[in-house]
Copies of this chain bind each other. A is one copy, B any other.
Amino acid sequence: MSAPVRIGLIGAGRIGASHAAVVARRVHGASLVAVADPRPGAAAEVAGPLDARTETSVEAVLRADDVDAVVVAASSVAHRDLVVAAAEAGKHVFCEKPAGMSLAEIDDVRTATAKAGVAFQVGFNRRFAREFAAAHEAIVAGRLGDVRQLRSLTRDPGRGPSDPDGVPPWTIFTQTLIHDFDTLNWLNPGAHAVDVVATAGSLTAPGHPTLLDHATVVVTYSNGAIATAEASFAATYGYDVRAEVLGSEAMVTMGEGAQSSLRLHDGSGRLATTAHSDTELLLDAYTGELEELVAAVREGRAPSVGADDAFAAFAIAQACIDSFTTGGRAAVATAVPQEA
């Protein structure tokens, strides 16, 4: 059996802590060796219970001989620089989405990881959720025929951001819906997004227009398929991730949110408890995506979801920004736009 893939975590926030625990406790063939985070104590809090060491800097992780791969879960604005530095240090990289803050940044990531010959994977977790993977498999096998109409949806639990002005502009497109854009791309194999029209608003905090907390995006694909991506930052009933694909031969639906098959029947009716966090709903998918990284590293191959996918999904997010700004339809870029 091969030696374990030794992993360093960069960024010990909520999702970083989740990835660290998944690596340490659930991914066979991986070990968590180091955790770095600029916030004092944050790295130690994650590393300690998982028997990993705390590093005081990213550089220390990237220099470490006992680190084979890094998981980048820092702030999105740092993703490009961190991935490029990791690649130059010869580390394989798993990077949370988005892989950069612009198409140019993601292109840098693509170039740097390709040049370094390291594995690069972006955190599009739904590809590793069981029902999504089964749907993709059915589509690729031709069971749906031609793909014609799609929908992908993400709703975050709760009542919306506590600090509406603290949410970076375009978050709903670049951070949330980017999952749906990748899902739609992936479930419509062989086609690419052509144009986009985005409708969005600030509904939980009407006086804060930079916050877009609900958005519905229609994407037209090169094969004529019409896709809808929907997001909300305020689902009182929990974390909701669903999709459906209508093909010429069959239709598939994915996602239903129940925590388990338990149903409680009382005077109110029949109740299914729903999942209230991504780490609950998607734990197996989070495990699966990191297992994919480990497998790719061990097998010396590219992970199944890489920089091209990161680019294609971000291109839709970028087109959403354009569409929302103009109010009209916007083209989806297939290459980094040239400066005017």
Contacts and interface: CB of A to CB of B under 8 A. Distances in A.
A266 interface: yes
A273 B220 CA distance: 31
A130 interface: yes
B228 A257 contact: no
B262 A49 contact: no
A204 B50 CA distance: 52
Contact of A266 (B24, B204, B236, B258): B236
A216 B206 contact: no
B248 A134 contact: no
Contacts of A201: 220, 224, 226
Interface in A1-56: 1, 24-26, 28, 49-51
A265 B253 contact: yes
Contacts of A273: 134, 268-269
A153 to B, nearest CB: 9
A324 to B, nearest CB: 11
Contact of A224 (B130, B203, B257, B262): B203
B246 A228 contact: no
Q: Count this chain's copies in the assembly.
A: 4
A187 to B, nearest CB: 12
Interface size range of chain A in the complex = 35 or more
Interface string A239-270: 00000001011111111111111111111111
Interface in A108-155: 130-131, 134-135, 138, 143, 146, 148-149, 151, 155
Contact of A271 (B238, B270, B329): B270
Nearest to A159: B248
A130 B28 contact: no
A240 to B, nearest CB: 8
Nearest to A267: B236
A85 to B, nearest CB: 30
Interface in A250-296: 250-274
A223 to B, nearest CB: 9
Contacts of A135: 262
B203 A143 contact: no
Most buried by B among A151, A216, A228: A216
A252 B226 contact: no
Nearest to A246: B232
A215 interface: yes
A200 interface: yes
Contacts of A302: none
A274 B263 CA distance: 12
Nearest to A251: B265
A49 to B, nearest CB: 7
Interface string A216-234: 1010100011111010101
17 contacts: A24-B28, A134-B260, A143-B266, A148-B203, A149-B230, A197-B218, A201-B224, A202-B224, A214-B226, A218-B218, A236-B250, A237-B250, A250-B264, A250-B265, A253-B262, A265-B274, A270-B274
Interface of A: 1, 24-26, 28, 49-51, 130-131, 134-135, 138, 143, 146, 148-149, 151, 155, 159, 197, 199-204, 206, 214-216, 218, 220, 224-228, 230, 232, 234-238, 246, 248-274, 327-329
